[in-house]
Amino acid sequence: MSVLPYLLAVFVFLVGLYGIVSSRDLIHLTVCVSVCQSSTYILLLAIGYREHATAPVYGDIPASRKVVDPVVQSLALTDIVVAVAVSALLLAFALRAFEHEGSLDPREMAELKG
Amino acid sequence: MTPLLPLLTAIPLLAAALLALAGKWLKDPVPDLAGFAAVAAPLVLAAIVLARTGGHVLTYWFGGWRPRAGDFPVGIGWAVDSLGAAFALFVLALLLSALLYSWRYLQEERYLYVVLMLAFGGAMVAFVQTGDIFNLFVFFELMSVAAFALTAYQVEEASPLQGSFNFAVANTIGAFLVVFGIALLYGRTGSLNLAEIGQRLTFDGKHDGLVVASFVFITCGFLVKAAIVPFHFWLADAHAVAPAPVCVLFSGVMVELGIYAVARIFWVVYSGALGAFDTPIRDVLLVVGVSTAVLGALMCGLQRHLKRMLAYSTIAHAGCFLIGVALLTPDGLAGAALYVLSHGLAKGALFLVGGILLVTRGGIDELLLFGLGRRLRLPAVAWFVAALALASPPFLGTFTAHALIEDSAGAEGYWWVPLVLAFATIGSAAAIIRAGLRVFFGVGDRDDPLLSEEPTESPPAEEKPRLALMYAVTLLLAFGGLAVGAWTGLAATAMEAGHTFTDQLSYIHVVLDHRPPAPAPPGEWVTTTSSVVWSVVTLVGAVALGFASTIRARLPDAATRVLAAGFAPLRAVHSGHIGDYVAWLVLGTGAIGAALAVAIR
């Protein structure tokens, strides 16, 4: 199997991390967290991929047909649900921070330090 | 009676869901009373489970998917040993204390607070009971999301948002690392059951890049939760802004669950496959544990915001827990478990005193509160009893925990471990004593050039806090924390539980083959001279340094300048900026990964 999807997962993860580290805007930062999370979907699906296999839905295919691994797909689905909850919460924080501070820059929000 | 296991989680989670739906229409005391009931019931069940685990490992398979002996486990299984059951009981006990304390403490949308606390607690209980690695991740995320929301509970101010944002982003990235590790393990073994993964990895006997990478990802991911250097930055920000009763759970159990997960996964999954590399793994974990203990103790002495000071003290102790686990011995693990118990109770009491100060004196700043606590006699008693428990005095508080870790380290040839434990203990207990002396007795100076800038935190808008109840809960926790060290029978039981926990083969046989676990050798408590000597050293050191630090302003100017310059880089690193924290997280994962990759070949 190709190594490409694994490299892509690492690349997407690092791009997301770079975005978080350099971000000057909380909404941009939240999107970067989602980008990071996408890399886990790619990794999970890559691990369950089989050559010349079809979707694991047995309704209209013979039981002998090769299918990709359904477990990783359900893991990815669970992961997406988690991501939605986290993104919603982060966006809510960002919104409230803007109401309070009039700014979305994490540097201006840093009251706690040292 | 294995059907009990899911009830411990199901009751609080179902109650949370129902309360979220119906809470709006319930009159004032009903949501609180429902919350107490939804924690008290599983608390009783957890005590029954703990009584039944003595030497056994209880299992439960969801939906009746119990595999036949030796078959591949298709379903999701839970497996609870004594240590896991004790942890579940401890989580529920602290949760009940926090809920009792916060009755009337927070006003806004009270039922939602109870809902979040129940979801948080239920997820933590499930986390210690599950034997399935993806299940572990799901409950990890559930407890994290509940914790993020609880941190931001008082959203009128900007700083809670900064604290919870940093907390949420850092822990979410930690969770991604965990998913990476889980995906790699699944790719190698085709299973998500901890016992099955452990069996397959041991059978393969390979310790190639994939195994090491998955180990590094999972360990670093959970160490973010455990606030281990350099992943610890979020903790001080989150604790500084979270309501005091929530901090009790954060410091008392949530951080410790990160260490629990590392220990559980190491012993069940990796101890067979990486068995030949105990020494490098131990060394790497000890290095990060020691850095955490030392850094936490140093930062603790520089804080004037009481909750932030206590948060750094938690970091110092988290380093000590990791040192206990990192020895990779049953006794070290038993010591860490006792440490978690005593620390959780004592630290909980300290946070609750912080909450009382906030409610009755309207502040949380050590210098602004100078002498204002003179008439708060019971909180003062709780504060100093808890400080004493954390100072590891002979046969009280964290003494048995320290003794087990130190003796186990000595047996492994790590003679310097007692020094590090003493440094962390003295540093953090001295800061607590210093703050207590200033606030409750007005001892020393009202001025301290080494402390950080003045924080802002306004008190929760309360109408009539139930002070008597708050005092009672606080005192109970403080004396509980002190009593742990006096009970050497508990230490012997913990040693047995440590043996069961670290026996990989026995765990696998129980879960996959339904065989009874191998009996653990009976634990026997032995008081060593060195442990008593060290505990006297920490006690005297903590009290002396505590008194001395109240008059730091009288140091000569030159000395103050040198000290301040020495601490300046440390302060600068804790910048409060999430981008920096994530950069440290990446760096730390890279460093730990590189060290293990070089050592395990």
User: Closest partner residue to B577 among A75, A86, A106, by Cβ?
Assistant: A106
* Contact B576/A at CB under 8 A: yes
In the predicted model, what is the mean pLDDT of chain B? 92
Q: Is B523 exposed, middle or buried (0-12, 13-18, 19+ CB in 10 A)?
A: buried
User: Closest partner residue to A23 among B157, B575, B579, by Cβ?
Assistant: B579
> Which pLDDT belongs to residue B394?
94
> Which pLDDT belongs to residue B275?
86
User: With contacts defined as CB-CB under 8 Å, which chain A residues touch B161?
Assistant: 93, 96-97, 100, 109
* Contact B455/A at CB under 8 A: yes
Place of tokens 């990709």: A68
Q: How do residues B256-302 score in pLDDT, each as one tens digit?
A: 999 999 999 999 999 999 988 999 999 999 999 999 999 999 999 99
> Which pLDDT belongs to residue B456?
61
User: With contacts defined as CB-CB under 8 Å, which chain A residues touch B145?
Assistant: 82, 85-86, 89
User: With contacts defined as CB-CB under 8 Å, which chain B residues touch A29?
Assistant: 169, 578
What tokens does B402 get?
């320290």
User: With contacts defined as CB-CB under 8 Å, which chain A residues touch B240?
Assistant: 112
* Contact residues, chain A to chain B, C-beta under 8 Å: 13, 17, 20-23, 26, 29, 33, 36-37, 39-40, 43-44, 47, 71-72, 75, 78-79, 82, 85-86, 89-90, 93-94, 96-97, 100-101, 106-107, 109-114
**With the CA atoms of B581, B150, B236 and B232 taken in that order, what torsion angle do they form, in degrees rounded to the nearest 10?**
-50
| ipTM, interface predicted TM-score of the complex | 0.95
Distance CA B96, CA B110 (A): 16
> Which pLDDT belongs to residue B462?
54
> Which pLDDT belongs to residue B329?
95
Interface test with A, best of B145, B159, B162, B448 (most A CBs within 10 A): B162
Q: How do residues B368-419 score in pLDDT, each as one tens digit?
A: 899 999 999 999 999 999 999 999 999 999 999 999 999 999 999 999 999 9
Inter-chain touch B165–A106, beta carbons under 8 Å: yes
Q: What is the pLDDT along chain A (114 residues), one digit of tens a residue?
A: 689 999 999 999 999 999 999 999 999 999 999 999 999 999 999 999 888 888 888 888 888 888 889 899 999 999 999 999 999 999 999 998 888 878 888 877 777 777
> Which pLDDT belongs to residue B157?
65
CA distance B569 to chain A (A): 9
Asked if residue B1 has pLDDT above 50, the reply is no
What tokens does B48 get?
């029954």
* Contact B87/A at CB under 8 A: no
What tokens does B520 get?
């653990």
> Which pLDDT belongs to residue B55?
77
User: Closest partner residue to A110 among B173, B452, B575, by Cβ?
Assistant: B575
Q: Please compute Rg for chain B using Cα positions.
A: 23
CA distance A80 to chain B (A): 11
A-B C-beta contacts closer than 8 Å: 126
- Three-class secondary structure of residue B193 per DSSP: strand
The torsion region of residue B64 among left (phi > 0), alpha (psi -120 to 50) and beta comes to left
* Contact B368/A at CB under 8 A: no
Mean pLDDT of B212-233: 96
pTM of the model: 0.95
Asked if residue B156 has pLDDT above 70, the reply is no
User: Closest partner residue to B186 among A72, A97, A113, by Cβ?
Assistant: A72
Distance CA B422, CA B535 (A): 8
Residue B130's DSSP bridge partners are B78
- Which CB contacts under 8 angstroms, 24+ apart, belong to B44-49? B45/B4, B45/B7, B45/B8, B45/B11, B46/B8, B46/B85, B46/B88, B46/B89, B46/B92, B46/B125, B47/B89, B48/B1, B48/B4, B49/B1, B49/B4, B49/B5, B49/B8, B49/B80, B49/B85, B49/B88, B49/B89
> Which pLDDT belongs to residue B461?
56
* Contact B213/A at CB under 8 A: no
CA distance B115 to chain A (A): 16
More confident residue, A96 or B14: B14
Distance CA B486, CA B477 (A): 15
Q: How do residues B436-459 score in pLDDT, each as one tens digit?
A: 999 999 988 888 887 777 666 555
In this structure, which amino acid lies at residue B237? D
Q: How do residues B446-501 score in pLDDT, each as one tens digit?
A: 888 877 776 665 555 555 667 889 999 999 999 999 999 999 899 999 999 999 99
CA distance A62 to chain B (A): 23
Query: In chain B, whose CA is at the least distance from the CA of A105?
Result: B577
